A and B are shown apart, each in its own frame.
Chain A
Amino acid sequence: MLKVENLHTHYGQIEALKGISLEVNDGEIVTLIGANGAGKSTTLKTISGQLAPTEGTVSLDGEVVSGMLAHKVTEKGIIQVPEGRRIFPRMTVAENLEMGAFLRKDAEGIKEDLEQVFTLFPRLKERINQKGGTLSGGEQQMLAMGRGIMARPKLLMLDEPSMGLAPVVVETIFEIIERLNKEGITILLVEQNAAMALSVAHRGYVLEVGSIALEGPGKELLHNEQVRKTYLGES
């Protein structure tokens, strides 16, 4: 479904991505793990069109989407749930979700998806008229994911969904990621929390300073000695 080939991205003179290639197949959860500054978020931002690659291509179902602006990439069905959640703080929960369906015209489908979001996140339904900015961190993450679901994505990209959340909330978020995937949404997940991410992912890629150092099935990487030492804090 998603194919990234030899992606290079620069911030001015600094080369943040030094030729990344990865693939996400239909129905998979694929995770990208790595230390701070390894280029995880940069990869995601390049795929979503927030950054333009200097070299290489991103294609979705055979169509090249790299070089398109962010809103065009969204139109193609690649939806990013950005790092730090970035909900609309002064819009209500309902309005935030409505914004997620901005490009859609099918009123019936939108209603269905809204039902689904409220089933996944009952808390959001309780808070429907509350402003996004007054939600707790976990609720905001749910809202950001809900907003992503409202776009009916082909590929949902989650950038650090566990960031700054209490462990119990992180667990719920990951349960929901698995549930979304079972319902047919393909997911590309960027995470610092490598243990969590690898335990839900079908496959994973380990990034090191702008290149892919390791790749393999999630469970395999979870038991890989090098990964355990470097990212899971075992000695």
Chain B
Amino acid sequence: MGGSKMDIRTKVSSRKATTKQKIIYALIAVFIVLVPVIFQGIGQLFLVRIMGVVGLYVMLALGLNIVVGFAGLLDLGYIAFYAMGAYVGVIVGDVMLKTFGASFGPWVYFASLPIAALAAAATGIALGTPVLRLRGDYLAIVTLGFGEIVRILITNDVFGLTNGPAGLPRSGQSIPEPFGLLWLREHAVFSIGDNFNFQFSNNLYWYFIAVLLCLLTIFVVRRLDDSRLGRSWTAMREDEVAAASVGINITTAKLWAFSLGAVWGGVAGLTFANFQQFVSPESFTFMESVFVVCIVVLGGMGSIPGAIIGAIAIQGIPELIRGLAQSGILPLDPGQASLVSNYRYLVFGLVMVIMMAVRPQGIWPSARRAMELHPDDEKIQNEESQSLWEAEHKTDTADHDL
């Protein structure tokens, strides 16, 4: 049965790509590179911007996926790590600029990236430690409060570091341009005909950075999923007592989940701050945390393609509608345009409700969750229903074989 001999090394899904998959990956890669270039060339800059933002949300969703999807800890304050990464990165970057002088400018982003990641991880442990004993709805409420605390601290200019609601950088200061952007802007310029004038832009730069970071995240998350730590998260998600009784250290497993999840929040946060050239507390409201949770749930918990699709659906499409309305591509007057951008949340809420009723495993569920909800092997399905039937009828068939 199952074909495997006595070896029980189980794998959730095979990782070897078939030729067909390779072609699909190649097509996706071409799409990812060419489409924003085309948008840039035809002057639809807001589309490039949206793609960059979607990239950041993919990263956030993959990070939160570690906490919610893998470890099963519902975190409603995830955006706090995004904020930590953004603020710590910008503040540290400013210090670097003052210490090493303006010539260090191009390196500031890259040098502050690990610091932002570490700061977020530390925040993750700071949140994780007091909530170790909490589960489910209690945990959700505490994390929600935590997210708000971080936002309120920032708004109130804690230790004089954050400049309150006015945000960073302060007037007269700026976030330096990263390495290569200036060169690319001057040299990566070309035209095809009259209507296609490409010039490399700030948006495009950060879009590609986001894509690279997403690839890195995907690589790490896949490795985590197959790792010992990944397996202990699955066990912990299913039954904490049983997990501890097979020798899993629940404390460290939870803290790893919180801190590793937070790292990607922090990295995305700093990238966001650079992308925007500005951070303020209003980017880190509770609604943002909710969006990220929605992306994870809508896409499919624990699933990497799910996170990407979820980010496009939840962050990309509403922004796209708003962008199209505002840029005049859709034939709407400004009043109608703002109406559309307000209604997007209504549609969005409706979609979520329908999704949860119709397809609770998400748009693109992870192999494990799909297996949990729809075992595809008919033989296994039959066995399962048989043993369920036996379990139900156990009392009247005292002499059945074991």
* Chain A positions near chain B (C-beta within 8 angstroms): 48-50, 69-71, 74-75, 79-82, 86-92, 94-95, 97-100, 102-103, 110-111, 114-115, 118, 123, 125-131, 134-139, 147, 151, 166-169, 172
| 1/0 contact string of B381-396 vs chain A (CB within 8 Å) | 0011001101100110
Cβ of A102: which chain B residues have Cβ within 8 Å of it? 228, 231-232, 235, 246-248
Cβ of A89: which chain B residues have Cβ within 8 Å of it? 238-239
Cβ of A75: which chain B residues have Cβ within 8 Å of it? 247
Asked if B242 and A136 sit within 8 Å, CB to CB, the answer is: no
Asked if B402 and A129 sit within 8 Å, CB to CB, the answer is: no
Asked if A134 and B387 sit within 8 Å, CB to CB, the answer is: yes
Interface residues of B in 200-224 (CB under 8 A from A): none
Residue B372 lies at the interface, judged by CB distance under 8 Å to chain A: yes
Cβ of B246: which chain A residues have Cβ within 8 Å of it? 74, 99-100, 102-103, 147, 151
* Chain B positions near chain A (C-beta within 8 angstroms): 1-2, 4, 6-10, 228, 231-232, 234-235, 238-239, 241-251, 368, 371-372, 375, 377, 380, 383-384, 387-388, 390-391, 394-395, 398-400, 402
Asked if B380 and A139 sit within 8 Å, CB to CB, the answer is: no
Asked if B247 and A166 sit within 8 Å, CB to CB, the answer is: no
Cβ of B8: which chain A residues have Cβ within 8 Å of it? 94-95, 97-98, 110, 114, 128
Cβ of A97: which chain B residues have Cβ within 8 Å of it? 8
Most chain A CB atoms below 10 A, which of B1, B231, B371, B402? B402
Asked if B402 and A123 sit within 8 Å, CB to CB, the answer is: yes
The distance in angstroms between the C-alpha atoms of A196 and B355, with both chains bound, is 51
Cβ of B228: which chain A residues have Cβ within 8 Å of it? 102
Asked if A87 and B377 sit within 8 Å, CB to CB, the answer is: no
The distance in angstroms between the C-alpha atoms of A221 and B105, with both chains bound, is 82
Asked if B249 and A130 sit within 8 Å, CB to CB, the answer is: no
A-B contact pairs, 8 of them (CB 8 A): A50-B241, A74-B245, A87-B242, A91-B235, A127-B1, A128-B1, A131-B371, A139-B387
The distance in angstroms between the C-alpha atoms of A75 and B247, with both chains bound, is 6
For the complex of A and B, list the 5 residue pairs with the smallest distance between their C-beta atoms, beginning with the closest: A136-B391, A70-B244, A74-B247, A134-B384, A103-B247
The distance in angstroms between the C-alpha atoms of A178 and B12, with both chains bound, is 36
List the B residue with the shortest CB-CB distance to A99.
B246
List the B residue with the shortest CB-CB distance to A84.
B241
The distance in angstroms between the C-alpha atoms of A142 and B105, with both chains bound, is 64
- Residue in contact with B241 in the complex, picked from A69, A82, A90, CB distance below 8 Å: A82
| A71-B248 contact given A91-B238, A115-B6, CB 8 Å threshold | yes
List the B residue with the shortest CB-CB distance to A86.
B242
CB distance from B158 to the nearest CB of A (A): 35
Asked if A130 and B241 sit within 8 Å, CB to CB, the answer is: no
Asked if B399 and A151 sit within 8 Å, CB to CB, the answer is: no
Cβ of B234: which chain A residues have Cβ within 8 Å of it? 88, 91
The distance in angstroms between the C-alpha atoms of A151 and B394, with both chains bound, is 30
Asked if A135 and B241 sit within 8 Å, CB to CB, the answer is: no
Asked if B245 and A48 sit within 8 Å, CB to CB, the answer is: yes
- Residue in contact with B235 in the complex, picked from A88, A92, A118, CB distance below 8 Å: A88
Cβ of B394: which chain A residues have Cβ within 8 Å of it? 136-138, 166, 169
Cβ of B368: which chain A residues have Cβ within 8 Å of it? 90
| A136-B387 contact given A74-B244, A94-B2, A98-B9, CB 8 Å threshold | yes
The distance in angstroms between the C-alpha atoms of A100 and B400, with both chains bound, is 29
Asked if A135 and B387 sit within 8 Å, CB to CB, the answer is: yes
The distance in angstroms between the C-alpha atoms of A168 and B232, with both chains bound, is 35
The distance in angstroms between the C-alpha atoms of A7 and B375, with both chains bound, is 47
Besides A82-B241, A102-B247, A137-B394, 9 new A-B residue pairs in contact (Cβ under 8 A), listed by A number: A69-B251, A82-B245, A86-B241, A89-B239, A91-B234, A103-B246, A128-B8, A166-B395, A169-B394
Asked if A69 and B402 sit within 8 Å, CB to CB, the answer is: no
CB distance from A197 to the nearest CB of B (A): 20
Asked if A90 and B238 sit within 8 Å, CB to CB, the answer is: yes
The distance in angstroms between the C-alpha atoms of A86 and B399, with both chains bound, is 26
The distance in angstroms between the C-alpha atoms of A147 and B243, with both chains bound, is 11
The distance in angstroms between the C-alpha atoms of A92 and B11, with both chains bound, is 11
List the B residue with the shortest CB-CB distance to A142.
B402
Asked if B7 and A111 sit within 8 Å, CB to CB, the answer is: yes
